[in-house]
Structures are given as structure tokens and as C-alpha cells.
Chain A
């Protein structure tokens, strides 16, 4: 039970946001969904943020009429603007939003918001921001709504607000709880709501009913019954299927296209070619008919330069020293001088996202309006690209994200939606476009490769100086206009996780170079984190061994004594204790350790590994200790950690995207295999909740994976592998 204004401990906010009113339906059907028009695409939102100095990206609007719908039968719907791609956002954000509303969980429905209803979210779903970004806005929206309901109930019941309390979706008289109304009865028939101007207070964490609990995922039963609808599944009356021809090479440019063969294929409704847009596609009765016909369009291509892997590798060269210094403590260059104690170069390759649901969308263009259902992490970009391709106003493009069959950053870009829009506009009927695996593998953007050239000076068993010369392809820049690139200076995505965290090292320098790849690179789970921590934490181990020190103690000795340093030490000690670091292991097994921060979540990992005679690495056990500040849904957070470890191991051991003749070699999993169940270690995840503020969990646990395995391989074999994936060939080469 919660009274209108009770606990002294509660935090107080004044609702300052103006103008959230008040999209009520003319039917008086209760508190209906707010309608928000004209969503800004991501980069405009970022630009606005930079200009005004407003809050961090990932934050959401706190307008209660956009977040909630309450119907007269007392069903309560939370509109979640973040998409559900398996990370549990619908459940966790639902928990957060329902917390301050004083309702029972069984009364709460969670629904995906579109670009036309629900809270404003121009950021998209990514960057491990969904939970930290909604933690406060959603609770404030709910608390505000509760006060609006209390105020309205007071009016309907003819009493003062302070004589009322809420209780599980009811408003009741404090003096006589049997005298009560449901929220649904309170909102029923109310045609207009005034903006609530009073104070609201938020519960202390000790009183949370939903947040902090492992509430089962709201989306799982539909998924387990096969009823959940993803972008690839969207169906409607009179729909047709589209297929597109993507350029055969990175620089492929269409010169001419003969559509006569394609037009004769069975089932073909229309062949659409736009040479200027480099677009060729087919609409047909079935998907296979469309694909076969698309393959029958006789296109003459200018293939452009046929880039080779070697040419791309050469672009990573940092020897000209022309990087941008982004971390500078002391003077590492002078401290190391011409006599480094240690140098090492680390490298990581291109990688693809390989989500199992390929890019897919259904678009219906009718007159000046478009309706879009798409598997996307970014409805803002889907809106603007569909508007651009069709010439429609963004206000007339309605985008509803579906369930997403794996996003991992790739679905922050646009894929099938603008293509389906072009085709739908051409035939005047709804068209579904679902990419083939080969298109999904080859025609997206990729995780860029990285190189890290490290050098260090050690004296008396301690590190005096570390210099890190870093090189990577673009990650964030392709998604921003040029003027913002100039403001940012360097690509924050490429150097994510590259900062040296050991504050007791006097001289530290990090310089970053951007390699000018002719192929698209971009968001990939954790951006540069996995690669950069691989370099940093492998080198930390190399320095520990050079100093003759234990790698765990060596790290503890160089971490600072401030709050950040203590959080790092705590996760290191926890992971080490839980796995029994230092205990005796079977012959040939060894521990490897690594630690990293990301979005202010600290993660330490210890892996027990061995290597067989063929150079095959086996990871037997993994323990991670994670400090995300506060955990909203422990089971969901654990699942994210497990998934990150599996992702990290797949990259560490297997994944490498290669380029040949201007195109990606692999068109399917035969040439780009993923890790499988038979290579899974035992895993334990431990959480440390250090300060009650939730931070991201979607990416941070991937940080230490490659480094911990590499360090374990060294401890087991004496061989230092400085390149991922650590294939048997590379391991054997390092061993010999």
C-alpha cells in the first residue's frame, strides 16, 4: 500500500516537463496512449543533445500518457519503446515502469511502442543503454501517473487527495479501504487530463516489488509456442514477396540491367530496376519465385576495385604515427624512449553479426502513407530511410518494430525496410522482403579489424609507462553526419575499451588511428571493446610475466585506490575466489584472468583452459564477477552474461571474416561457422551490486573474454597468441 505522500526516505522530484498532454481518444475509453509525432532520427537527437547539453543518449521521455494505457476494465499496458531482441528489455523495462504504479504484476501487459505511440526514444535499442536509460524516466512517469489517478479519484469520490491511498491497482480511502475504485474506474470517461504539477516521490529500493526480482520473461511463452511475430514473419492480406539483387562487390555499380528473362519467370508481378540507386528487385507471388526471378535479371556490373584481404590489412598500418592521442597521463613516449622493456602487437579481424533472423521487413505504401513492420533496433532510422526512398513525409511513415531475431548492432542499420518500401510503392500492395543468408553475410556492415601496438617500461617489478598505438576501422562514424565527426574528433566506437585502466601507472598514452576502409564497418556487439581489451589485458599479462609477478596480484597492485579502482579489484578478487584461483589444476590446464570496464560496468573473468597437441583450445570453466551497480532482473542479467561469454568465445576461437576479389568470402555458415554447444565451458556468473545504480549488461561481459582465454593459453603452454581467432594453426605457430 502506498499513500499519496508518505515515506520520508523517498526521493522527490518536481515534474517539470511541460506540454505532455494528453492524447485522449474522443471515445473516453480511459487513459489512452499519447501520440507523439515527428520522431527525430538518431543523429539529430545526438546533435540536439550536444547542442543543449541535455542528458545522455539512451534516456527516454518521462511522459506518463505515452508510457501507459489504462482501460476501464483495469488492464494496464506499458508501452516499451525499446525493442525485444532477446535481451529481456520488455520484461525489465516493464518491471521498472510498473514499480511506482502500485499494481500487481498480473495486471500488467507489456507492448512494443511504435514510432507513433509510446515514450519518445530516438536513440534506438543498443549500446547497453536500455535499462540505465529507462530506470528513472519510467519510474517518474509511473509515479506521476499514480498521482494523476489519485487526484482524479479524489475528485470523483469527493474527498481530499491526502485521504486516499493506492493498493494493487485500486484507489481506496485510508480510513475505510473497502471504499475503493479501480484505476480503470477512475480513468473511465475522463475526457481530459491536466498535467500534474505537484511533487512526486520514488520508492527506495528496499520497497521494490518488481525491480530486483527475476520476473520471468513476458515474451517467452509466445516464442516457445511459435506464435511470436518477428520481422521475417509479418503477414497480411494481399501481400506479395520481394527479393533484391545486391551488388556483387563492395564497389559494385550497376551499368545496365535486362529484365526480360526475369519478367517471364513464374509468379512475377513486377521487376523494378533503378540504375541510379543501384537497385534491382522483383515482386512475385512467393518468396522463392521472387528470388529466382531476381537472380534472372541480367545485370552488367562495374565491379570497381577488387579489394584483397592483404590490401585491407595494409590500411591498418600505424607506423606513420599519425594517430590522435586520446589518453595522456604523464609522458609515456619519453619514459619509454628507445628502450622499452617489452613490446607486442595484437590484431583482430573483420567479423559479421550473423544473427539467425536475416534482415526482414514488410512495408505497405498506400498513397502518401507507409506502414512498416520491421525487425530493427532503430525505428528512427527505419522511418527516415523509408521516407527518403519513397519521397513520403516522415510523419506519414508508421514504423512498428517486431520481435527481433538477434540484433547485435547490425539491426541498428537499415536493411530490408527501404527495399520493401520501394517495391511496395511500385506495385501498390504490401511487400515483404527477407534477405537470404548470403545477403545478410555479405551486404551489411561489419566489425572492423583492429591492431594494437603496445610498448612498456618496467622498473623494479612495476610498470612505469605504457604506450598503446591503436588502429581500427570506423564503428560509429558511418552513422553520423560529417559535422558531428568533426566534433567528436575520433570514433568513440572504435576505441571503446581501449583506455588504460591502471591508474598507478605514471605514464600512459593511447593514440588512435582510423583506417579508411572501402567497405562498410559499424556497430557490432560491444563495438571495439572485445578487441581492445584483448590487447590491453593480454599485454598486462605479458608485463606481469616480464616482472615475474602473479597476473592477479600484478593487476591489483596497479589499480587505483579510488572508488573505480576498488570496484575493479572487487570483481577481480570475487572471480578469482569463486574459481579457486591458484588451486591445483589437472595436468596441462591453467587459469587466465582479465578485467575490463564498459558503460561503467566492471567485469572480471577467469578461464580454465588447456591446449591439445593439435593446437585446439578447450575452455573448461569460466567464472565472471560483474559489478553493474544494481541488477534489475538477476536471471535476465545472468543470461546476458552467458550470451556475451559465448559470443566472446566464438570470436576468440573461430570467427574471422575474410575478403577476396572485392567481396566477403563467406556467404553462409559453411565458411563462417559459429561456436556450438559441444565447445561450451561450465560457467558461473556472480554479481556485485556496489552502489544501487543500474548500468548496462548487454555488452560489458564480452570485454575480458578473449584476453582471459589468451592469458590461460600462455599459462598452459608458454605460447603467447596475439591474434584472434586463436585457430589451431595460430596456436601451434605460437607454440613452436
Chain B
């Protein structure tokens, strides 16, 4: 299956489901019954956004048309139109994904399907950032990213951040040296966010660091150490 060309890096990096949905809805009218069915099924897969009081109002309908998969209405399931095994390129390796994960979200495919638990589930709504991974080098919230949208893309998780010989990535080393994490549930996302940011800007100002990291929650309150460690990592990369 080809990776869908419509989802570019910019879209992925700003991938808040309902925002994109708004943009899509403003530009196109969706009338076909099949698409509505698609939307409903998909919305159920996006369960954390499913609020009984607002059922159906926040559907990421845009996704339906962008996916290179089609809906088997009878079995209420997306099917791979080319009949091949879905593979994800994760940390440089092509991994076969159990078809039960094909029409789900990337975070569960990575964690439960492939067993890479370093990517954490936090909010399921793209807000807290715990699930951040890299998709073609761009920091991406995997809890709102459909698996089908990243087939063919290079996905990198925390497990792929260190070198093959185990040497820690500068961001990891700086987080370890600075004794940054407390519970560390958010830290995978923090480090992935920081690593992607430093790829783009390896000599950031403190303001730029704050701007790049401010959308990742840390409930334990390690923010000071995060800010310092990203600066240290930038020095190590330079």
C-alpha cells in the first residue's frame, strides 16, 4: 500500500483531529451515505473523543477520504484493498502488523501490535504529547494518527532514538545526566519532541526551546529540568 500523498509533514505535525476536520468540512460537502457510515465507525475508533453528549459532532471525516483503504460495510471493518499484509517501517525495520490493528490508531499499533511500549498513551486526543513519535522526522501525536496514514513513512519511536550499539541519543543523554524524569510516563514524548525540534534547530534560544516544548504536558512538574536538558542536548549535538 502506498502512503497517502495528501497527508504531508505539515499536516501530520499539526494533527489535531477536529481542527483538521473543521478545515475539511469548510472546503467540501460530504453527502454520501457510505462516507457517513465510514465516519461513524471511525469515530468509534477515536473513542476518547466520543462524548455521549456530542456523539457524531467531532468526527474526523477528512480521514476517510485520505485513506488508501476502503470500508467493508457488511463486516464493519476497513479492508486492505490490495490484499497485502500491512507493514510499518519502524525504527528502520519493516514490521508486519496484525490486521486487527490496520484500521486503528498508530499508538496502539506500536504499543500493543508491535510491542514497542516506549511510546506512551496519555490522552488520546493529541493534547498531552505523551505518545509523540517521529513520522518522516516530524514529531507526531500517534494517539490521533491512523495507522493507514503512515504506511510507507519512516516511523521512529523512543526505542529507535539510541544508536544501534546502545549509545544514547544526545537528548536521552542530557535527560539522564540532568536526572530530568520523575514518573517518566510523558518523557518518551518529551524526548521525541525535543529530538525532532533539535533536528531542525540545533542552536535554539531559550524562548525557542519553550515554544517547541510547551505543548507537552508533564504532570510531575519536571519542566525546569526539561528546559535545561534540551539546551544541554543542543550543545551536545553542535
What is the CB-to-nearest-CB distance from B180 to chain A, in angstroms, rounded to a whole number? 8
Given contacts A287-B108, A405-B185, contact A677 B123 (CB under 8 A): no
**Chain A residues within 8 Å of B218, by CB:** 356, 646, 677
**Chain A residues within 8 Å of B187, by CB:** 223-224
Q: Are B127's CB and A405's CB within 8 A?
A: no
Is A662 at the interface (CB under 8 A from chain B)?
no
Q: Are B104's CB and A356's CB within 8 A?
A: no
Is A232 at the interface (CB under 8 A from chain B)?
yes
**Chain B residues within 8 Å of A354, by CB:** 219
- Of A120-128, A323-331, A465-473, A664-672, the stretch lying at the interface with chain B is A664-672
**Chain A residues within 8 Å of B225, by CB:** 639, 642
Q: Are B122's CB and A674's CB within 8 A?
A: no
Is B60 at the interface (CB under 8 A from chain A)?
no
Given contacts A436-B48, A642-B225, contact A226 B182 (CB under 8 A): no
- Give A217 to B183 CA distance when docked, in angstroms: 11
Is B186 at the interface (CB under 8 A from chain A)?
yes
Closest residue of chain B to A635 (Cβ to Cβ) is B179
Q: Are B128's CB and A405's CB within 8 A?
A: no
**Chain B residues within 8 Å of A228, by CB:** 184
What is the CB-to-nearest-CB distance from B102 to chain A, in angstroms, rounded to a whole number? 10
Is A357 at the interface (CB under 8 A from chain B)?
yes
- Give A88 to B222 CA distance when docked, in angstroms: 13
Is B39 at the interface (CB under 8 A from chain A)?
no
What is the CB-to-nearest-CB distance from A604 to chain B, in angstroms, rounded to a whole number? 19
- Give A288 to B46 CA distance when docked, in angstroms: 9
Is A87 at the interface (CB under 8 A from chain B)?
yes
- Give A76 to B191 CA distance when docked, in angstroms: 33
**Chain B residues within 8 Å of A220, by CB:** 176, 179, 181, 184
What is the CB-to-nearest-CB distance from B209 to chain A, in angstroms, rounded to a whole number? 8
Q: Are B219's CB and A356's CB within 8 A?
A: yes
Is B112 at the interface (CB under 8 A from chain A)?
yes
**Chain B residues within 8 Å of A288, by CB:** 45, 47, 104-105, 108
**Chain B residues within 8 Å of A356, by CB:** 120, 122-123, 128, 130, 183, 185-186, 217-219
Q: Are A232's CB and B121's CB within 8 A?
A: yes
What is the CB-to-nearest-CB distance from B166 to chain A, in angstroms, rounded to a whole number? 8
Q: Are A639's CB and B179's CB within 8 A?
A: yes
Is B196 at the interface (CB under 8 A from chain A)?
no
Is B3 at the interface (CB under 8 A from chain A)?
no
Contacting residue for A643 out of B116, B159, B182, B227, CB 8 A: B182
CB proximity to A under 8 Å, residues B218-233: 218-227
Given contacts A226-B158, A286-B108, A405-B120, contact A292 B44 (CB under 8 A): yes
Given contacts A220-B179, A406-B219, A437-B122, contact A292 B47 (CB under 8 A): yes
Interface centre among A241, A405, A644 (most CB of B within 10 A): A405
Is B164 at the interface (CB under 8 A from chain A)?
no
Interface centre among A86, A87, A434 (most CB of B within 10 A): A86
What is the CB-to-nearest-CB distance from B110 to chain A, in angstroms, rounded to a whole number? 11
What is the CB-to-nearest-CB distance from B205 to chain A, in angstroms, rounded to a whole number? 14
- Give A288 to B125 CA distance when docked, in angstroms: 14
Is A295 at the interface (CB under 8 A from chain B)?
yes
Q: Are A669's CB and B118's CB within 8 A?
A: no
Is A680 at the interface (CB under 8 A from chain B)?
yes
Given contacts A241-B112, A354-B219, contact A232 B120 (CB under 8 A): yes
What is the CB-to-nearest-CB distance from B145 to chain A, in angstroms, rounded to a whole number? 13
Q: Are B47's CB and A680's CB within 8 A?
A: no
- Give A27 to B106 CA distance when docked, in angstroms: 47
What is the CB-to-nearest-CB distance from A527 to chain B, in angstroms, rounded to a whole number? 18
Closest residue of chain A to B168 (Cβ to Cβ) is A224
A86-B183, A286-B100 are known; give 15 further A-B pairs, CB within 8 A.
A85-B183, A220-B181, A226-B118, A241-B112, A286-B112, A356-B219, A357-B183, A406-B185, A406-B220, A437-B124, A438-B48, A635-B179, A639-B222, A668-B125, A670-B125
Could you give 10 example pairs across A and B, Cβ below 8 Å? Answer: A86-B184, A225-B168, A226-B118, A288-B105, A356-B123, A405-B185, A639-B222, A646-B221, A669-B127, A674-B219
* Residues of A bordering B, CB below 8 Å: 85-88, 216-217, 219-221, 223-230, 232-233, 235, 241, 248, 265-267, 285-289, 291-292, 295-296, 354-358, 403-408, 434, 436-438, 635, 639, 642-647, 650, 667-670, 674, 676-678, 680, 683
